[in-house]
Amino acid sequence: MGGKASLLVVLGFSMIFLVVGLNFSNLSTRAVDNYSSYYTVTKAYDIAVSGANMAANQIFMDKTWDAGYQNLSFDGGVLNVYVSNTITGTAGKVLICHTPPGNPNAKHSMWVPVSAVPSHLAHGDYLGDCSGQSSGGQTATIISEGTYNGVTKVVEVLLRGSSFAKFGNYYSTMSAYPATGDTFEGPFHVNEWLTTYGSPVFWGKATSAKGLKMMGSPKDPKFYGGYEDGVNIPLEFDTTNLRSNADYIFYDTTRTKSLVNVRLYFNSDGTLTYSQKIGAGNWSSSKTVNLSTFAPNGVIYVQGGNIYTKGTLNGKVTIVAAKSKITNAGNVYFEDNLVYNKDPRIYPNSTDMLGIVAEQNIRIQDNPNTRGKDIYTQASMYAQNGTIGPEDGLINQNFLGQWNILGGLIASNTRATAQYDYKGNPIRGLKFVHRYDNRFLTSVPPSFPNTKSYEVVSWLE
Amino acid sequence: MSTGQLFITVGAIVLLTLVILRINNVFFSTSSVMLDTKFGVMAVSLGSSIIEEATSKAFDSATDTSSVSSLSSLTDPLNLGPESGEVYPNFNDFDDFNNFSKSTEGDSTFQSAVFNIKCKVVYVNPTNPDVPSSVKTWHKKLTVTVTSPSMSDTVKLSTIFSYWYFR
């Protein structure tokens, strides 16, 4: 009886020990699987990121690059990079729906060269776009697939043309430097050294081409949106490209190479009142038209002339003053305030948006409407070869007012808006009060100039 | 106790002894595997951290504060590494990690094991990224090797960092 009991006890303990042992074996297996999986996924991810980097460099060097990389061996795995690039259009390219191996959720519509179609079809892609996915626009998409030990990781990068309108402030060079008391909203760039005095504040990301020089005391600029140097964005844009997008072109109909002056007065009811003057002739009688029918694509272009403008804009438009080799042309003058019918700070859903593109300068005209008064301007302003600011008479006037800007300033150089005492305080002219229009981060005025490069819209890993 | 019962009891004790020995063996081997995999995961994480740190730097000392448009401006392949006076963690560009080595010995956050990290940076050609390039290119490969006396495996991770910026 005692023997049987001891046997039963021993068998019982043996069973318990065997179950515990089995659990420990499973624990070992799971731990090894976990480590192996982590290592494999990390390797696959590193391969995919490497491919995205290499492709980004190729597009950085050549905006039209779309060759990609096929079956590259790297770090014990395989790298495939596919590029859809529609910056030069879609001619000679085929629209396909690409699905990364083992990752159907990452399928993507792509425009690929005809020569690349067979290899795509061979790994399960099909012609046409993926249902419900947009595939147009001037964009480039990089899809980098890193495969290691049967695991594929995908990095998807979406690039698009970068508009100058996104900048709160852009200058090729700065003759007046940001200083204590200055506050800059929105992205800031100077394509030179960024020189600061004391503690100016930059709320948006600040970039420069050559680096940062901190002067004064304390040497403490505040970069709340981050700072990066080594970023070269030349202020280069061929305004004639805008001409092809223009709905209405004012030009010298006399063909005598005369200066064309155009008045564009915006009315709050969505109309535009315009007149023009060619050379030494008289101003034509004013015409009032509905802005949306006069410029359905939102571009009004003056060839070889200047624009004189004011009013309240109800709509979305870009006005362009091109020099076209005519002396004293390519300028935009504000005759008075130029504001939106619905201020986006009060009406967040406002669709009123103005782009001003001048091949030379943008000026607040010195006239009875502007002298001795605060000025309000709401627009993204682009002066390719000049500066943005008041005429000399307003800077030297015996009055200190404010120039209240909502939008962006993009120019070749800075221009003083006031005169200052020895302490650096403005004493006459117009104090510069600038607020960035945040809508320009995601939406820009019609056909507003793009930089020569792309910007990263998304980087998905 | 009869002779039969004696034999059964002795057999039971022998069986129990064998089971206990087997379980003991399982315990030890599991413990060893658990430690090995734990150190492996830590090694992969350490390698990834170095890669993340390196890719947060400028591509080259020449692109740290300015942009370049010619390969000739970049660091010579034979001179990849920290510039004079640059000491970790104050590296400012990707190739400063060339020949960088680091040990976690004495690091209070790594009390379970000592890890040794070694880095190598080379130029690579995008058409053959596994092979170092003897000439300058727009692409650099960082290979991070992590070893430990407490770990049987060597963890090796690589990444390619290229020169570009989009604004």
Residue type, B130: D
Q: Give the pLDDT confidence score for residue A94 in this predicted structure.
A: 82
| Span A99-132, pLDDT tens digits | 877 677 777 788 888 877 887 888 778 888 886 5
Which residues of B are less than 8 Å from A24 in CB distance? 26-27, 30
Helix (H, G, I), strand (E, B) or coil at A157: strand
Say if CB A321 and CB A358 are below 8 A apart: yes
Model confidence at A299, in pLDDT bands (50, 70, 90)?
Answer: very high
> Measured between beta carbons, which residues in chain B are less than 8 angstroms from residue A18?
19, 23
| pLDDT of A424 over the 80 cut | no
Other CB atoms within 10 Å distance of the CB of residue A362: 26
Residue B58 vs residue A181, higher pLDDT: B58
C-alpha–C-alpha distance, residues A241 and A243, integer Å? 5
Residues in contact with A433: Cβ distance below 8 Å, sequence separation at least 6, in sequence order: A402, A403, A404, A405
Contact A13 B16 (CB under 8 A): yes
Is residue A317 within 8 A of residue A296, CB to CB? The reply is no
List chain A residues with CB under 8 Å of B20.
17
Beta bridge partners of A112: A94
DSSP letter string over A228-287? Answer: EE---------THHHHTT-SEEE--TT-S---EEEEEEE-TTSEEEEEEEETTSPPPPPE
Beta carbons of B157 and A42 less than 8 Å apart:
yes
Of residues B44, B48, B158, nearest to A75 (C-beta): B158
* Residue A180, C-beta contacts closer than 8 angstroms, at least 6 positions apart: A197, A198, A199, A200, A216
Decide the pairing of beta strands A353-358 and A418-420.
unpaired
Token representation of residue A333 = 């003058």
Which residue, chain included where needed, has tokens 């929105």?
A186
Q: What is the pLDDT of residues B35-93, one digit of tens each?
A: 899 999 999 999 999 999 999 999 999 998 788 889 999 999 999 999 999 999 899 99
The dihedral sign for the CA sequence A426, A430, A435, A441: negative
**Cβ–Cβ under 8 Å, residues B59 and B94:** yes
CA-based nearest residue to B150, from B41, B35, B42, B53: B35
CA dist., res. A43 & res. A78, Å (int):
10
Q: Which of A450, A72, A36 is nearest to B129 (CA)?
A: A72
Give the model's pLDDT for residue A238: 57
Interface contacts (A, B; CB < 8 Å): 171
Q: Which residues of B touch A49 (CB under 8 A)?
A: 159
Is the pLDDT higher at A179 or at B61? B61
Is A363 within 8 Å of A390 (Cβ atoms)? Answer: yes
- Across the range A308-328, mean pLDDT stands at 96
Nearest to A3 among B5, B23, B138 (CB): B5
What confidence score (pLDDT) does residue B93 get? 94
> B 63-122 residues with CB below 8 A of A?
63-67, 69
Please classify residue B132 by burial: count the beta carbons closer than 10 Å to its beta carbon, then call 0-12 exposed, 13-18 middle and 19+ buried.
Answer: middle
For residue A101, count CB atoms less than 10 angstroms from its CB and return exposed for 0-12, middle for 13-18, buried for 19 or more. middle
CA distance B135 to B78: 9
* pLDDT tens, position by position, B101-138: 999 998 888 878 899 999 999 999 999 999 999 999 99
| Pairwise CA distance, residues B84 & B101, whole Å | 17
| Model confidence at A401: pLDDT above 60 | yes
Residues of chain A with C-beta less than 8 angstroms from the C-beta of B167: 162, 187, 189, 207, 231, 233, 451, 453, 455
Contact A7 B162 (CB under 8 A): no
What is the SS3 assignment for B163?
A: coil
| Residue A179 DSSP code | B
For position A149, what pLDDT does the model report?
94
- The CA distance from A336 to the nearest CA of chain B, in Å, is 34
Grouping H, G, I as helix, E, B as strand and the rest as coil, residue B102 is strand
Q: Token pair 């005169």 is at which residue?
A: A419
The stretch A229-255 carries a mean pLDDT of 83
Q: Which residues of B touch A39 (CB under 8 A)?
A: 40, 44, 155
Cβ atoms within 10 Å, residue A442: 8
> Buried b vs exposed e over B34-59: b needs ≥16 C-beta within 10 Å?
bebbbbbbbbbebbbebbeebbebbb
* A51 contacts on B by Cβ (under 8 Å): 160
What is the residue whose two structure tokens read 């990095």?
A155
A415-439 mean pLDDT = 88
Rounded CA separation A307/B10 (Å): 111
* Cross-chain residue pair A209–B167, CB shorter than 8 Å: no
Token readout for B89 is 């963690």
> Would you call B16 an interface residue with chain A, using a CB distance cutoff of 8 Å?
yes
pLDDT at residue number B6: 79
pLDDT digits (tens, 9 = 90+) for A285-294: 999 999 999 9
The closest alpha carbon to A300, from A358, A258, A350, belongs to: A358
Q: Which residue has the tokens 């400012």?
A: B92
Give per-residue pLDDT as tens, A129-161.
886 554 445 678 899 999 999 999 999 898 888
Closest alpha carbon to A237 in A151, A318, A176: A318
Indicate yes or no: CB of A50 within 8 angstroms of CB of B160: yes
